């Protein structure tokens, strides 16, 4: 009896939830400082004589390093592991913040905070995302949403913490403390054990039943209905008529152990290509080269001791249905052998790959030929630019309409609180709906753009709080599906490369459009106009994806029409 080995699959839980906690710790320690950038660096940038443009340059460089590190992610994870990459990234984050404490120039801030810290954040973000996708399949949305809750929780606490640290230790002491907090990401990274250590056997649904699988070997026994020959004797599959010794040598041992005949699941082709051998040894070679995954015909080998052996299929043999292709019936076996090409197989010499092709294969750059993937990266990158610029500009916007640091920190905390609520409540719901994560994300960012444009026109305390609550919730609803849109489209093998190239795309757009948004604010002296320009970028993402959906729908409708006509 053949026992099929069980397939090992991700646990979709178990240690995976511990990995989720580890990712939350990493996100809390490395990314929660970003929305408080204006609050933390505001006084220092004022002393250096740079305002919004300088802040935009620092944040754009930071984002560029975060995202351009995606070029390294795929090869690094393939060569080492996502846990080791996350550990190195966490160490770089803490080191970059600590080295920023004595900064007295823009160049110093760019070198330490933007470059060193940015590279570390990029490595940890990519490694932790890949780790979660190895642990979860069906509950991937919940896992990613819960892990991002660490970021949102940090965004809620960090503005208050930064305010208190600035009051107690000034900028240089505050950045040192935050650097120590970032080093705690090392503890979270150690929890990202290889997912293969925790794989579990696949559990099949009862609806599948015990039906034989494709390519399954089926043995026929002596008393099987309708299969025994008319004379009532056991019929063997291979019959060498001219050499009884050979026949007994091959089959006696098997017949002693069981009354079952030789398994009836091997390919005819393994005999056809060797049918013109000139010795009895060809019988051995034919038998030894059986293909146990092909069609199931009864074959008889006829040979003479002094002439070349021939391959024939007996006239009265009954045909059995092919298990690999159940709907195919072989009606004319004589014609099959007659039409089969008898030329020897020829193999073309393998072409030597060029260095560029090796690089393309190693980094999976063939993804850049996929227009759907490119449009996906375009939309995500456009939204990312708007999101990063909003986090940078918001503290300056509140200051411009007369609110102090305490009120600004409260506003940011309230927005982060509703963000956390959305990330905890919505992922289980999103995993159960039939709508794709990409469509859910597009709906979410559409609402985000509208709410932020409304917020930009508010000046009263109560209305600002109301719209910050709404903005925080819809932002959390959108961001829980932000990275999943990549894993939803890509295979697990290409996921590190797909995510890395997606990060590179974000970096390019941040470098290109980040300073433009800063220039719009400085040239117009209007923060509301800057927020409206961010909404414009978000709507560009929605328009690009909507056009793709329409084109795909029209193609599908055209194909359905052709199939109906046929």
**In this structure, is residue 399 part of a structural domain?**
yes
pLDDT for res 543: 95
On whether both 200 and 244 belong to a single domain, the answer is no
What would the DSSP string read from start to end of 222-291? Answer: TT-TTTS-TT-SPPPSEEETT-HHHHHHHHHHHHHH-S--S---B-SHHHHTTTT-SSTHHHHHHHHT--
Domain shared by 311 and 408, yes or no: no
Domain co-membership, 192 together with 254: no
User: How far, in Å, CA of 556 to CA of 566, rounded?
Assistant: 15
User: Is 50 found in the same domain as 197?
Assistant: yes
DSSP-assigned states of every residue in 447-492: HHHHHHHHHTT--SHHHHHHHHHHHHHHHHHHHTTTTHHHHHHS-T
**418 pLDDT higher than 60:** yes
Per-residue tokens: 368? 């850049």
Lowest mean per-residue pLDDT among 200-204, 415-419, 433-437: 200-204
∠ CA 485-68-518, nearest 5°, is 90
Return the exposure string of 367-384: e unless at least 16 CB atoms fall within 10 Å of the residue's CB, then b.
beeeeebebbbbbbbbbb
The number of helices, as runs of H, and strands, as runs of E, in the chain is 21, 5
- pLDDT on residue 312: 44
> Who wins on pLDDT, 558 or 154?
558
3-state secondary structure of 221: coil
If one counts every other C-beta atom within 10 angstroms of the C-beta of residue 290, the result is 18
Q: What is the mean pLDDT of the chain?
A: 74
User: What residue numbers bound the domain in which 34 lies?
Assistant: 8-204+367-557
Residue 280 clears pLDDT 80, i.e. is over it: no
C-alpha closest to that of 199 among 15, 7, 11: 11
What is the 8-class DSSP label of residue 10?
A: -
Tell me the C-alpha distance between 157 and 181, whole Å: 13
Same-domain check for residues 319 and 378: no
Query: Does 270 lie in the same domain as 132?
Result: no
The two three-digit tokens of residue 145, written as one number? 């949403």
Please give the Cα distance from 418 to 122 (Å, whole number): 26
Q: Tokens at residue 463, please?
A: 């209305």
Residue 274 Cα distances to 270, 279, 283, 303, 308, angstroms: 7, 11, 9, 13, 11
Reported as a single tens digit per residue, the pLDDT across 51-82 is 666 777 787 788 778 878 877 777 788 788 88
- Residue 353 is given by DSSP the state P
Counting residues of the chain whose pLDDT is more than 70, the rounded percentage is 70
- Identify whether residues 51 and 117 lie together within a single domain: yes
pLDDT at 394 (0 to 100)? 87
Residue 246, in any domain of the structure: yes
> Is 341 inside a domain boundary?
no
Whether 46 and 141 map to the same domain: the answer is yes
User: Pick from 241, 281, 290, 284: which is nearest to 262 by CA?
Assistant: 290
Domain count, the chain: 2
Q: At 361, is the pLDDT very low, low, confident or very high (cuts 50, 70, 90)? A: low
Question: Is 52 among the domain residues?
Answer: yes
CA distance 330 to 276: 23
Burial class (CB in 10 A: 0-12, 13-18, 19+), 404: exposed
| Cβ contact 193:21 at 8 Å | no
Q: Is residue 2 pLDDT above 60, yes or no?
A: no
Q: What one-character-per-residue DSSP string does 152-171 give?
A: HHHHHHHHHHHHHHHHHHHH
Instruction: Tell me whether residue 115 is in a domain.
Output: yes
The answer to whether residue 563 sits within a structural domain is no
334 in any annotated domain? no
Inform me whether the pLDDT recorded for 253 exceeds 70. no
Q: How many CB atoms lie within 10 A of CB 226?
A: 5
Are residues 388 and 317 part of one domain?
no
Beta bridge partners of 200: 9
CATH number of the domain at 420, please. 1.20.1250.20
Whether 193 and 98 map to the same domain: the answer is yes
What length is written for the chain? 566
Domain edge (last residue) among 323, 356, 381: 323
Element (H, E) at 8: strand 8-9
Which of 323, 350, 380 is at the close of a domain? 323
Domain boundary (269, 304, 323) is at 323
Phi, psi of 9 (to 5 degrees): -130, 165
For residue 159, the model assigns a pLDDT of 78
Query: Quick check: is 211 in a domain?
Result: no
Residues 267/273, Cβ–Cβ less than 8 Å? no
Residues 164 and 291 in one domain: no
Q: Are residues 390 and 271 in the same domain?
A: no
């Amino acid at each position: 009896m053949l026992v099929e080995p069980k397939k090992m699959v991700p646990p979709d839980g178990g240690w995976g939830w511990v990995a989720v906690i580890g990712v939350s710790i990493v996100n809390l320690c490395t990314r929660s400082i970003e929305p408080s950038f204006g609050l933390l660096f505001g006084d220092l940038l004022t002393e250096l004589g740079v305002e919004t443009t300088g802040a935009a340059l620092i944040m754009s460089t930071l984002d560029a390093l975060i995202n351009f590190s995606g070029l390294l992610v795929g090869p690094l994870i393939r060569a080492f592991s996502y846990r080791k990459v996350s550990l190195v990234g966490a160490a770089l984050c803490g080191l970059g913040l600590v080295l920023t404490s004595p900064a007295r120039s823009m160049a110093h801030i760019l070198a330490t905070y933007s470059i060193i810290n940015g590279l570390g954040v990029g490595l940890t973000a990519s490694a932790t995302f890949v780790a979660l996708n190895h642990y979860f399949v069906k509950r991937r949305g919940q896992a990613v949403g819960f892990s991002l809750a660490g970021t949102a929780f940090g965004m809620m606490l960090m503005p208050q913490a930064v305010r208190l640290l600035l009051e107690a230790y000034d900028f240089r002491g505050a950045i040192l403390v935050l650097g120590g907090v970032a080093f705690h990401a090392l503890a979270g990274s150690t929890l990202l054990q290889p997912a293969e250590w925790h794989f579990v056997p696949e559990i099949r649904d009862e609806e599948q039943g015990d039906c034989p699988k494709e390519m399954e070997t089926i043995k026929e026994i002596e008393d099987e209905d309708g299969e025994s020959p008319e004379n009532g004797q056991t019929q063997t599959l291979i019959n060498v008529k001219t050499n009884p010794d050979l026949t007994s040598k091959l089959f006696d041992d098997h017949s002693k152990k069981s009354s079952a005949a030789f398994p009836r699941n091997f390919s005819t082709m393994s005999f056809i290509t060797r049918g013109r051998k000139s010795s009895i040894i060809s019988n051995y070679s034919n038998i030894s080269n059986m293909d146990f995954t092909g069609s199931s015909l009864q074959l008889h080998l006829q040979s003479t001791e002094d002439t070349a052996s021939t391959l024939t299929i007996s006239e009265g043999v009954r045909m059995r249905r092919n298990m690999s292709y159940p709907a195919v019936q072989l009606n004319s076996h004589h014609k099959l052998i007659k039409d089969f090409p008898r030329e020897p197989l020829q193999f073309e010499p393998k072409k030597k790959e060029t260095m560029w092709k090796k690089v393309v294969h190693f980094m999976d750059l063939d993804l850049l030929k996929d227009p759907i993937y490119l449009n996906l990266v375009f939309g995500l990158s456009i939204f990312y630019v708007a999101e990063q610029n909003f986090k940078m500009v918001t503290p300056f916007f509140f200051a411009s309409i007369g609110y102090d640091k305490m009120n600004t920190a409260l506003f940011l905390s309230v927005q982060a609180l509703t963000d956390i609520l959305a990330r905890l409540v919505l992922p289980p719901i999103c995993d159960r709906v039939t709508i794709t994560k990409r469509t859910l994300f597009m709906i979410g960012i559409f609402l985000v753009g509208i709410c932020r444009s409304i917020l930009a026109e508010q000046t009263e305390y109560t209305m600002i709080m109301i719209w910050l609550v709404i903005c925080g919730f819809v932002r959390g609803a959108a961001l829980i599906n932000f990275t999943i849109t990549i894993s939803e489209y890509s295979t697990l093998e290409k996921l590190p490369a797909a995510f890395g190239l997606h990060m590179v795309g974000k970096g390019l757009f941040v470098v290109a459009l980040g300073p433009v948004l800063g220039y719009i604010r400085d040239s117009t002296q209007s923060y509301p106009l800057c927020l409206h320009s961010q909404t414009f970028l978000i709507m560009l993402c929605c328009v690009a994806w909507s056009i793709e959906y329409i084109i795909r729908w029209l193609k599908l409708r055209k194909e359905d029409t052709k199939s109906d006509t046929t």
